[in-house]
Amino acid sequence: MFDTIIIGGGPASLSAAIYLKNANKNVLIIEKEVPGGKILKTEKITNYLGFIEEDASLLAYKMYEQTQKLNIPINIEKAIDVEDNDNEKTVITDKNTYKAKTIIIACGRTQKKLGIQNEDKLYGKGVSYCTKCDASLYKDKVVGIISNNKDDVLYLSNIAKKVIFINYSKKDVNFDNDNIEVINNEKVIKINEKNDIIKSITLSSNKEYEISCLFIETGYTPNIDFIKKLNIETKNNYIITDENMKTNINGIYAAGDIVYKKVYQIINAASEGMVAALSIVKDLK
């Protein structure tokens, strides 16, 4: 039996595992793809403390490498169910069944995609789902954005040379900013490329706009389907935790993008992983 099983392989998970291992706890990470989480879908990281500019995949690898130097096992499996039997938790994957005293749920959330032609192909190559993560990469450039939040558009306007806002809502929207162009009653039907990098977007009117990046901010879906029968307390499908990253179920914790909060960034995900780990260390004494 493990002291802790961590479901997910992003910054929250890796951070938690390192703190648990350093506290001499027996820990297992279960990740359905490869360690790193959504960092791997980003080109450059420019807002993580200590890294002026870092290749995103390299930063993810450094996090992974740190866990491997501590001999922390990472099993590439998909968690499909979790059972709570008071002091014993069971994690069932598509390959195995594991037992643990505690669990950290840190499997993040999935972007809501629009199904635009070349959207998947150019993800991380000019298509971004995180304005606050990637805006600085396009300083003084022309960018496009599809968003449900006017704040995202205003945030971009302070960084980019020009922002083309494609308004998908049914209400016309206007801004006072000179560098924001609003396009109402149109949809993006194709993202055009050149040498595997975004070049422009084509709208339903067949008008084409050259841009350096298209930000798609239409929301996320937390990855909680496999834990729904546990009746973990949630809000808008995000897990609610206390200040120690504890859920309403004893022995089950959560951290990272799956947690209900105001800001979703690498730095607070890693912090939450640390808090969850230290809570477990204290609770297992």
Q: What is the pTM of this model?
A: 0.75
What domains are defined for the chain?
2-110+220-283 (3.50.50.60), 113-217 (3.50.50.60)
User: Which two three-digit tokens encode residue 253?
Assistant: 């914790």
Task: Express each pLDDT in 92-124 by its tens digit.
Answer: 999 999 999 999 999 998 888 899 999 999 998
Give yes or no for a contact between 16 and 254, defined as CB atoms under 8 angstroms apart. no
Query: pLDDT by residue for the chain (285 residues), tens digit each?
Result: 999 999 999 999 999 999 999 999 999 999 998 887 767 666 678 878 888 888 878 888 989 999 999 999 999 999 999 999 988 999 999 999 999 999 999 999 888 889 999 999 999 899 998 888 889 889 999 999 998 778 889 999 999 999 999 998 878 888 989 999 999 889 999 999 999 999 999 999 999 999 999 999 988 889 898 998 899 999 999 999 999 999 999 999 999 999 999 988 999 999 999 999 999 999 998
∠ CA 259-264-269, rounded to 5°: 70
Spatial separation of the C-alpha atoms in residues 190 and 200, rounded to whole Å: 9
